[in-house]
Amino acid sequence: MKHYEAYGIATRNTKIQGQFYRLADEEVFIHHFEPLQKNNDIILLLHGYMDHSLTSARLINRLISEGFEVVALDWPGHGLSKGETYHIRSFRQYNTIFLQLVQDMIERWGSDRIHLIAHSTGAGVVLDGLTNNLKKMPTGGIVLTSPLIKLPSHRIGKLFLPFVRKWRKQVRRIYRTNSSDPLFMKAIEEDPLQHEVIPLTWFDAYLQWHEDMRRRAKCSAENVTILQGTRDTTVHWKANMKWLAETLPSAERILIDGGGHHLWNEGDLIRELVFRFILKRLKKT
């Protein structure tokens, strides 16, 4: 329990469990937050690359306070999950883990009770599922923040990666200012579950995945809200929003003026606006 309190999780009046699960041949860690006074809905929360579930403590606390049960997954090599740090062979691993977990949750709770909230790479994984396995997706609300589809460094990375790979297997991480909240940025830099190097294998996997996503057919899903900050320098948000308008024409797409990449870890005003949009979608379906 002290581990959760250290990250700011409100542990009072909440039953918290965490354990390893075997999904897609990976040992992943899943956190389960169950408020004592709860409604009938369950949320699957998916974090972004180089994050982990507990960097979303503020959002988790808000959802718990609204009576939502929250299941949060640490991706392989992230947080408390096992695996090589930040490494992935293919984005299919993310997708297989996600779909297996979703099916397990649907069997336990039913499709209409399950909502999805996903950030960045997690949102990209959900988009992969929506455009390729729509029938396997839950029918509750879906909220995607700062979704990964294309990176700003995409063209340069594609050009230089074959040369860099000859001398290096990893590059040093650069901490970007992903939020206007200095307390959050300080917490990220001091977080013992954050790591300092990025394997080039992840970029290889991303490039292959991006080429596949570019060719996806339109998705008819109407239960999706997409939130994107206009000061996001982590993803190529303008190109991404264009792709989303073409591929998910029925989705609700909202630009957050002045918002950075970590929208639910922004300063008070933007964070509260983001929370309102999230709750609106969850309570709409």
Q: What is the domain-level CATH number for residue 271?
A: 3.40.50.1820
Report H helices in 172-265: 182-190, 200-214, 237-247
pLDDT for res 165 = 64
pLDDT for res 160 = 60
Instruction: Please say whether the beta carbons of 119 and 47 come within 8 A.
Output: yes
> How many Å separate Cα 227 from the centre of its chain?
12
Residue 60's Cβ-count burial label (10 Å; 0-12, 13-18, 19+) is buried
Q: What secondary structure does DSSP assign to 117-181, as a single string? A: EEETHHHHHHHHHHHH-GGGS-SS-EEEES--S--TTHHHHHHHHHHHTTT-SEEE-------S-
Start-to-end C-alpha separation, the chain: 33
The candidate with the shortest Cα–Cα distance to 125, out of 91, 159, 155, is: 91
- Token pair, residue 154, equals 């995409």
What domain range includes position 177?
A: 2-284
Instruction: Please say whether the beta carbons of 124 and 148 come within 8 A.
Output: yes
Residues near 280 by beta carbon (within 8 Å), at least 6 away in sequence: 225
Q: Which residue has the tokens 């039953």?
A: 15
Residues near 186 by beta carbon (within 8 Å), at least 6 away in sequence: none
Give pLDDT tens digits along the chain (285 positions). Answer: 678 998 889 888 999 999 999 998 999 999 999 999 989 899 999 999 999 999 999 999 999 999 999 999 999 999 999 999 999 999 999 999 999 999 999 999 988 899 999 999 999 999 999 999 888 899 899 999 999 999 987 666 665 666 566 667 777 777 777 788 888 888 888 899 989 888 888 988 999 999 999 889 899 899 999 999 999 999 999 999 999 999 999 999 999 999 999 999 999 999 999 999 999 999 876
Separation CA 228–CA 97 (nearest Å): 25
Q: What is the number of domains present in the chain?
A: 1
Burial 244-264 (b: 16+ CB within 10 A, else e): beebbeebbebebeebbbbbb
What count of other Cβ atoms lies within 10 Å of the Cβ of residue 120? Answer: 25
pLDDT for res 155 = 66
Radius of gyration, CA atoms only, the chain: 18
